[in-house]
Structure formats: structure tokens, C-alpha cells
Amino acid sequence: MSIFNQAQTQRRKTNSDDNLIPLINIVFLLLIFFMIAGKIEQIQDAGLTLPENSQTKPAVAQPITLQLSKDNEIHLNNEVVNFEELPDALTQLLQEHPANIAVRADKQVTYQDLDKVLDTLRTAGFSTINLFTLTTEAS
């Protein structure tokens, strides 16, 4: 009787493991997909909706990122900065990094607000300004 019970439990155990194998297969496939297709990057989202662009010159991450929201809130490297404090903050960052900057402006920002920021960047001494956009498929 005991031998019969042991055999039964053994069978049950191997059976439960056998049922898990398709699950593991799928989970492994998902894992490999996310590992290969996804890109791990720092989340930089100040509630922005970036302008769309079908041209594809892939963006290169810059050490300095400035985000300008539609409420004219400025985030410099993920920290909120007042417009008045911006020149000093930029001068400090320029001492440590090259003079390239990524500007992520909301698509609803008007040019008069963007121009003030761009002017400040030029005055601070940035030579290249990269205006970041979302890549969309060309129709």
C-alpha cells in the first residue's frame, strides 16, 4: 500500500512539473524578447508630449538634458529650475560636461518661450543644441 502511495505522489510531482514546462518556455521567450528589443534608459518625463518627426536621425543621449513643459516649467537634468536660476545652473554644468545639450520641449510650447530658453543656452556658451523629437513612421 505504502509503495503504491509513494509511486502515486512521485507521479503527481513529475506531472505538475511537466505542466510548468510550457509556461517556462513562454516566460523565457518573453524575457528574451524584452532583453533584446527593449532599451533600458533613464526615465525622463516631466509630463511632456514631444513633437513628432518622421525624419530619423537617431538621438544621441546628451549629458545635459533640459525639459520645457507646456506650463513653462524647466527641468534641468530632472531637477526643477527657475528661469532666473537657469544661467547659473548651466554655467556649473558646463564646467563638467561638453557644450552639447538635449532640449526636450513639449509640442505645445510656443516659440517665444522656447526662444528665451534657447537664448539663455546660447549665452551660456552651448555650441550644439539638439531638439529632441519622437520618431514616427513616415506616411
Residue among 8, 11, 30, 98 that touches another protein (CB under 8 A): 30
Residue among 71, 85, 88, 115 that touches another protein (CB under 8 A): 115
Spell out the residues 6+ positions from residue 138 whose beta carbon is closer than 8 angstroms to its own: 54
The DSSP bridge pattern shows strands 65-68 and 52-53 to be unpaired
Nearer to another protein, 93 or 118 (CB): 118
Query: Alpha carbon of 32 to those of 1, 4, 29, 113, 119: distances in Å?
Result: 47, 42, 5, 44, 45
Using CB under 8 A as the criterion, what x/- string covers residues 39-78 for binding another protein?
xxx-x------xxxxxxxxxxx------------------
Binding of residue 37 to another protein (CB under 8 A): yes
Binding of residue 102 to another protein (CB under 8 A): yes
Provide the 3-class DSSP secondary structure of residue 62.
coil
Binding of residue 134 to another protein (CB under 8 A): yes
Residue among 34, 47, 83, 88 that touches another protein (CB under 8 A): 34
What angle do the packed helices 86-96 and 111-124 form, to 10 degrees? 50
Instruction: Supply φ then ψ for residue 42, to 5 degrees.
Output: -70, 130
Binding of residue 82 to another protein (CB under 8 A): no
Count the site residues for another protein by CB under 8 A. 54
